[in-house]
Amino acid sequence: MDPQRILYPCYFDQSLTRSGGRRVPAAMAQENPTAKAIHKAAKRLGLSARIEEAASHPGRWLKKEGRVIVEWKGSKEELIRRVAAKIR
């Protein structure tokens, strides 16, 4: 089984700062990204992914935005950038 990486919508949220949780450059960020959009982007990349709807980012535990768990061997930053490019 490949290692799993967890992706949260806040990683792609253009309304957040880097220190606020965004992990992509502002130019690649999205307005109101959803776990479903991240899941679709991962599937477009041919990756095995699943959504956990009721989950929340530990730093934003009050917001139940969901998360996506992706099978990925490379670095998490590379995965985040590839998914961000496919969300558009």
* 54: CB partners within 8 A, 6+ apart: 64, 66
DSSP state of 38: H
Instruction: Tell me the domains of the chain and their CATH numbers.
Output: 4-87 (3.30.56.30)
- Give 31-79 pLDDT, tens digit per residue: 999 999 999 999 999 999 999 998 988 888 878 899 999 999 999 999 9
- Give 6-40 pLDDT, tens digit per residue: 999 999 999 999 999 999 999 999 999 999 999 99
Residue 62: per-residue pLDDT: 78
Residue 10: per-residue pLDDT: 95
